[in-house]
Amino acid sequence: MTDWTDHSARARAWFEDLRDQICAEFEAIEREAGSDASFTYTAWNRHEEGNPDPGGGTQGLMKGKVFEKVGVNVSTVRGSFAKEFAGSINGASADNPGFAATGISLVAHMANPHVPAVHMNTRFLTTTKAWFGGGADLNPPIPYEEDTAEFHAAMQAACDPHNPTYFERYSKWAEEYFYIPHRQVGRGVGGIFCDHLECADDAAWERNFAFIQDIGKQFLEVFPAIVRKRMNSRFTPEDEARMFEYRGRYAEFNLVYDRGTIFGLKTGGNIDAILMSLPPRATWS
């Protein structure tokens, strides 16, 4: 069996570097808006009985003038799944529940209803198998076709150099995954989502890692540009009410259906980091 320790370290280094780039860009946007808001970083340690090195992570959180609430988290954890949960994870079982995971997770809720909320998550996991997964999706309370097209074009630019079928497959997967069955609506306007990009050997790992990096790079290009275009738009109380109602649906998806939330809770992650995706204010009518 391949020892993926060095690969995990490289993936972790990339996720941490991407976090630093994103946080710097978001803080720059706050400065452009006349705000001195900055990220605060809180380290946390995971606990697992009998595990001397269960890992942990760092939660980055900022509340500002443009970003009402944005979290950018990086975690690196290792240990064993609970037996009743292990069977639901690729390559794990009740008899072989060991795992290691490293990844970045980002959710931004914006102060202006005309600026879309956004989610981005990429990760590398190992059980008896090793694979990458993740993606990014746009979540506007008030959609603009231009913004949707720009975001989708960026995600396609991440996909096309690696496989000409990726964008069609992974954009469809995003539509299916980011769907709220009890509301019969999508959570947002889509993006891409992929999982179980398996790494049978070093060559496959390098290919998949390059793709995962390109998702992050394209996100860093497109989302700040959309924010800057919309952040000074005037909005009405009706626009704001629409945003709060939309946020309620966002929260419903994340608490009921989201795999990342379930994974974090089932593996003893930091509760504040896991639930940082929840909006600061929301309404249900």
DSSP secondary structure string, 31-64? HHTT-----EEEEEE---TT-S--EEEEEEEE--
**In the 8-state DSSP scheme, what is residue 116?**
P
CATH number of the domain residue 130 falls in: 3.40.1500.10
Q: Average pLDDT of the chain?
A: 95
Dist CA 108 CA 24 (whole Å): 14
Can you give the pTM of this predicted structure? 0.95
pLDDT band at 285 (very low <50, low <70, confident <90, very high): confident
Over residues 199-213, mean pLDDT: 97
Mean of the pLDDT values across residues 94-104? 93
Question: Is residue 203, in this structure, part of any structural domain at all?
Answer: yes
Domain-located, residue 125 = yes
Q: Count, in order, helices (H) and strands (E) of the chain.
A: 8, 9
Domain total in the chain: 1
In single-letter form, the type of residue at position 144 comes to Y
Range of the domain at 155: 5-277
Q: Which two tokens stand for residue 166?
A: 């990726």
Of the residues 7, 114, 119, 152, which is catalytic?
119
- Reported as a single tens digit per residue, the pLDDT across 70-92 is 999 999 999 999 888 888 898 88
CA distance 45 to 43: 7
Strand residues in 81-177 grouped as ranges (E): 98-110, 117-126, 130-139
Q: What is the spatial distance between Cα 175 and Cα 155, in angstroms, rounded to a whole number?
A: 14
CA distance 74 to 21: 13
Alpha-carbon gap, residue 91 to 225, rounded angstroms: 39
Structure tokens at 107: 């959710």
In the numeric block, which tokens belong to residue 61? 């959180």
Give the number of other CB atoms < 10 A from CB of residue 91. 17
> What pLDDT, on the 0 to 100 scale, is given for residue 1?
58
Q: How far apart are CA 279 and CA 176, in angstroms?
A: 23
Angle at 258 between CA 253 and CA 263, to 5 degrees: 150
Name the pLDDT band for 212 (thresholds 50, 70, 90): very high
Amino acid 252: pLDDT = 96
Active site residue 109: no
Query: Cβ(120)–Cβ(216) under 8 Å?
Result: yes
Interior CA angle at 257 toward 277 and 215, to 5°? 60
Question: Mind listing the pLDDT tens digit for each residue in 19-52?
Answer: 999 999 999 999 999 999 999 999 999 999 999 9
